Amino acid sequence: MLASEGTDLQIPLRTSSTIEDYIATQEWQRAYLSGCPLHPHGGCAFRRHGSYARLTSPGVRIARWYCPEGRMTFSLLPDFLAARLPGLLATIECTVAVAASARSMEVAADALRGPEIGLAGAVRWLRRRVTAVRGSIMAVRVIAPSLAADVQACAAAADDVPMLPKLRRALPTPALSCIPAPLGFAPVALGDARAMARTSGARWVTGFRVASPGACGQHEVGPDHNPAARYAGSVKVTGSPCRPNPMSRPPPRISAAFGAPTAT
């Protein structure tokens, strides 16, 4: 199985297998990288670095490589798995569909998570997935609008066919590196595809508008399932309700007992 090269820590492993077939045939053992993504002309001690388990997908293992000179590992993520979120792309898409059809986010979160987690935590869990999927789809509509329309039409014609896995398989690796998770591999903070498409380093690759590799950034080194990164996101400040000047503090009072200034 040949994986597409790139400069991201996570690289898509192109496969049409289901998760059941992937596990049954141990497809990660046949995954292959022809060379180091950091050193395409060679010269480094690039080597296979075993595999690791995907904790939320029992039986799934992810093939991994290591470049000692670049001190970076590269994991090959099968097309059916979500990036930066646990689980399958199809499962996350179904979760978002439940939220879209429910009367409110709270009702959907309670139905999806039940008593295993408090309502506030369940809403945060669901909102993160809804926001991430919307960001991914928005980026695809900017980078590859015709592809997004075709895949959406096919998904609408077949109710049981998820759209996100089809998009993952159809999009080229350079485009995926500039699309935010869970569909692509770009950090959520770089999910503004419109801004990336306007960068001076952007170029056309097989009909898709993608940014240069440097503009898409590099994933943090670490395991595929990183709890610390689960709630990472970007903050866009459009205005501040605070006063333009800091409040003046009153002068300190003098302690009658010690003759020293005290806080007010």
Question: Could you tell me which residues come within 8 angstroms of residue 137 by beta carbon, excluding any fewer than 6 positions away?
Answer: 148, 183
Q: How confident is the model at residue 200 (pLDDT cuts 50, 70, 90)?
A: very low
Record the tokens describing residue 112, joined without a space: 């999806």
Give the structural domain span for 19.
Answer: 9-78
Residue 233 pLDDT > 90? no
pLDDT of residue 128: 95
The mean pLDDT value for 206-214 works out to 40
Strands (E) in 20-155, as ranges, are 47-53, 61-67, 72-78
Instruction: Say whether both 46 and 108 belong to one domain.
Output: no
Q: Does the residue 21 lie in any domain?
A: yes
Are residues 128 and 34 both part of a single domain? no
Please check whether residue 60 lies inside any domain of the structure. yes
Mean pLDDT of 96-110: 94
Domain boundary among 198, 223, 241: 198
Under the banding of pLDDT at 50, 70 and 90, the label for residue 116 is confident
Give residue 157's pLDDT.
55
Of 171, 186, 57, nearest to 132 by C-alpha is 186
Are residues 93 and 194 both part of a single domain? Answer: yes
In a domain, 169, yes or no: yes
Three-state DSSP class for residue 193 = helix
Computed over every residue of the chain, the mean pLDDT equals 74
Q: Are residues 135 and 183 in the same domain?
A: yes
Which one is predicted more confidently, 9 or 198? 9
| Residue 126 belongs to some domain of the structure | yes
Q: Are residues 93 and 74 in the same domain?
A: no
**Is pLDDT above 50 for 24?**
yes
Residue that finishes a domain, picked among 176, 198, 220: 198
What pLDDT sits at residue 64?
94
Q: Quick one: which H or E segment has residue 213?
A: helix 213-216
Report whether 187 contacts 180 (CB < 8 A).
yes
Low-confidence winner among 51-55, 166-170, 233-237 (lowest mean pLDDT) = 233-237
Residue 162's nearest CA partner among 253, 247, 244, 80 is 80
Mean pLDDT of 59-69: 94
Domain assignment present for residue 226? The answer is: no
Assign residue 59 a region (left: φ > 0; alpha: ψ between -120 and 50; beta: otherwise).
Answer: left
Is 205 inside any structural domain? no
- Are residues 218 and 9 in contact, defined by beta-carbon separation less than 8 angstroms? yes
Q: What pLDDT band is residue 158 in, cutting at 50, 70 and 90?
A: low
CA dist 120 and 106 (Å) reads 8
- Residues 16 and 66 occupy one common structural domain: yes
Same domain for 123 and 71?
no
Q: Could you say which of 78, 98, 129 is where a domain stops? A: 78
pLDDT top residue among 208 and 53: 53
Name the band, by pLDDT with cuts 50, 70 and 90, for residue 123. very high
Strand order in the sheet with 61-67: 10-13, 72-78, 61-67, 47-53
pLDDT-derived band at 3, boundaries 50, 70, 90: low
Q: Are residues 95 and 174 in the same domain?
A: yes
Residue 29 lies in a domain: yes
| Count of domains forming the chain | 2
Residue 52 inside a domain? The answer is yes
